[in-house]
Structure 1
Amino acid sequence: MIDPRANSPERIVPPAPLPVVSRRRLLKIKDAFPIPTSCNCCNGDRVRLVENSEIYNGKSFGDWPYAYLCMDCFAYVGLHPGTDLPLGTLANKPLRNARNSSKGVFNRIWREGHMTRDGAYAWLTRQLGIQASECHFGLFDIERCHRARTVCEQFMATTGRRKA
């Protein structure tokens, strides 16, 4: 569902430290994830919107250098550019590592031309037995990351040798 603020006549007041929340950018996000108020990793309630320099030892990264950060366990998640909407759920270091490694194998499937990107997501949805709305690496827990990595590695070890 598109964020209702995208079509609201009222002025969008960006939460600090954001300079703006863009209606145009909100319209592009079809399945927005909820803004975190508590941490899914430690159940802490000290989640803050920060400049990502607070995460990366004083250095800012990206064109939209903002994130939600759990002040208790240091789990974090970046934002869709121009918005205050998270790219997924908060992730601590083990979960970030699991997401990165599983998505890396998955990306090879479509980048090497075995399937289109949309086709690869549809295939992965079927392999994992989940709804399309749940098939987003930014939502996966460690167990689902491992399952996704396994099915993607199996694909690449067999079908992936030749283009499907």
Structure 2
Amino acid sequence: MKRINITCPVCGSKAYLRPASVVYGDKAPDPDAKYYVCGRYPACDCYVAAHRKTMLPMGTLADKALRKKRHDAHVALDSLWKNGIMSRKEAYRLLQLSMGLPA
């Protein structure tokens, strides 16, 4: 596995790949999951999940407020495709275009 360097966008500390138990304790939804966690955690509450196969981060480290916003965005987008308004691919493409993000 190639080492990657991730810096916390909130405090500037280095993030480390850790087991889910570091964030969730014994209540981890997936005990085998890994997270990139800020080196100052829990004082700095930033983390992001890692892809199971590649161990690459699933996004950027986020604090509680940003994680809530991301969750809310997913709920809104998911309702578009789950209610048949558009396909899942179309919903996420709409988000991508509206934010000016690359494909």
Runs (4+) off by over 6 Å = none
Structure 2: which 5+ runs fail to align? none
> Normalising by structure 1, what TM-score?
0.54
Q: Give the structure 1 partner of residue 80 of structure 2.
A: 109
Pick closer, same or farther for the CA change 1:115–1:52 going to 2, 3 Å.
same
Given the alignment, which residue of 51, 54, 62 partners 2:30? 62
Report the RMSD for the aligned CA atoms in angstroms: 2.1
Task: From 84, 88, 98, give the equivalent of 2:69.
Answer: 98
Matches within 5 A, 1:142-161: none
**Aligned in 2, Cα 1:59/1:83: closer, same or farther, shift over 3 Å?**
farther
Give the counterpart letter for 2:69 in structure 1: A
The two structures have a TM-score, normalised by structure 2, of 0.81
Unpaired runs of 5+ in structure 1? Answer: 1-12, 16-34, 134-164
Question: Relative to total residues, which structure has the larger strand share, 1 or 2?
Answer: 2
Check whether the contact 1:44–1:70 (CA below 8 A) recurs between aligned residues: yes
Q: How high is the sequence identity, in percent, across the aligned residues?
A: 31
- Give the superposition deviation at 1:57: 2.3
* Offset from partner CA, 1:17-76 (integer Å, 9 cap, x none): xxxxxxxxxxxxxxxxxx45211222222x111001011123433274111000221211
Instruction: Kindly provide the amino acid, as one letter, of the partner of residue 12 in structure 2.
Output: N
